[in-house]
Amino acid sequence: MCSDMSRTRNTICEFPGCSRTVWQDPDGSFSSYCGMTHRDAMKQLNGAGLCKNCEARPVYIEGNRVHEFCGMRCRNAYQQGKENPHSPRASPAPTSSICKLPRCNKPAFIGPDGVPSEYCSNRHRLDAVRGGKAEACLFCWKYPKSRINGKLSDFCSKKCSEDTFDAAPLILMIPHNQASFRDVSKQFRDQWKHPTPVPTVIWKIYCDRGHTDEFARYKLAIERKTNFPGGNSKRRWHGTVRACTVGDSQGQPTLCNDVLCSLCNIIRTSFHAAKAGQRTNFGRFGAGIYTSATSSKANDYVLEPGGSGFKAMLLNDVVLGRVIKMTTGDENLTQPPTGHDSVVGEPGGDLNYDEAIGKGNEAIRPLFLVIYKP
């Protein structure tokens, strides 16, 4: 989105009739609009043409200059003679549709900002959740999750999203019938190389806003530097010490304050490379934050001194960027070699299972807390 240094998080969206505050980009700057829908709708109102490459999104406007493309990716894809399926820019503003509740043919409700709902009324939103036709918001558990740029959000509204991050750090339980529970559970079981335990409870983790923004900025910077979608981010497992029973059941969402509980400290303030490896006093590829695609490998580092009958493991979003693959350890490694952003240890040589090593705190963010029976 086009940004201006004079804008702040309290600036109001420039789309006519909208009273929302403007969107903050991952690089810390602020847009003129509350989101991509109003940005693109405004361009259409102003007569801006469509991107020369994708022919779906409005062209990018920079001051008085009207570009031919919606963004750099479409420009580069056009110059290389290929389509770009990874553009992060949103589709044009949605149009009104029919209520999604089965057997209802009423038009979907359109809010005062011109953005249509997926349902005709709040009553049908409630009925969709109660009838199992839609996934419930992880915060209020009342209304269906909203869809943003074609992707299902964790929340039903901007308010629930803001309330969550205002209360962060915290964990929210994911019901067994939701797609993200099945997805994380499958990844856990598929990547376990021994007789496989089954996750009993899965929680979504929300870090404090400061680290969330820092991670987003780093991810965007690596994406721009490498041209890898999402900065080549991958979901990786991490096992650590849990000195309490947080997460063991639905009634245990509260983080503890024990300085020896690495798990709660990671959820509260994320990872710290300076503290990594203190327990094992060994890092095959030098100091750094170690994760693995193999859940049973991460399980080797799980300790439960708090007396729980369960085990807990973290699934994280790790920005790998441009990786260097190694099969032999180097304990003196302090940074990835020049031109690389991370180190990946591959099986072979002195490694039995994979490892990914990040050297910076901003390159990793905990996503899910998985509770399982050993």
- C-alpha span between 67 and 50 (Å, rounded): 10
Mean pLDDT of 297-318: 93
pLDDT at 205 over 80: yes
b/e map of 121-153 (b: 16 or more CB within 10 Å)?
Answer: eeebbbbbbeeeebbbbbbeeebbbbeeeeeeb
Give the model's pLDDT for residue 47. Answer: 59
| Rounded mean pLDDT, 129-139 | 94
Here the tokens at position 247 are 């997460």
Q: Give the least confident one: 43-52, 142-151, 282-291.
A: 43-52
Strand order in the sheet with 342-345: 289-291, 355-358, 342-345, 323-326
pLDDT on residue 371: 95
Separation of alpha carbons 294 and 330, rounded Å: 21
Confidence of residue 114 (pLDDT cuts 50, 70, 90): low
User: In the predicted model, is pLDDT for residue 172 greater than 80?
Assistant: yes
DSSP state of 56: S
**Percent of the chain at pLDDT above 90?**
37
Q: What domains can be seen in the chain, in order of their start residue? A: 1-93 (no CATH), 95-161 (no CATH), 179-372 (3.90.228.10)
Task: Of 324, 325, 322, 319, give the one whose Cα is nearest residue 367.
Answer: 319
- For residue 110, the model assigns a pLDDT of 78
| Interval 211-256: pLDDT, tens | 888 888 888 888 888 888 889 999 999 999 999 999 999 889 999 9
pLDDT of residue 45: 53
The residue among 285, 265, 271 whose CA lies nearest residue 349 is 285
63-77, 145-159, 170-184, 311-325: least confidently modelled range: 63-77
In this predicted structure, what is the pLDDT of residue 358?
Answer: 83
Place of tokens 């994406």: 223
Q: How confident is the model at residue 131 (pLDDT cuts 50, 70, 90)?
A: very high
Give the phi and the psi of residue 342 in degrees, each rounded to 5: -155, 170
CB 46 within 8 A of CB 14: no
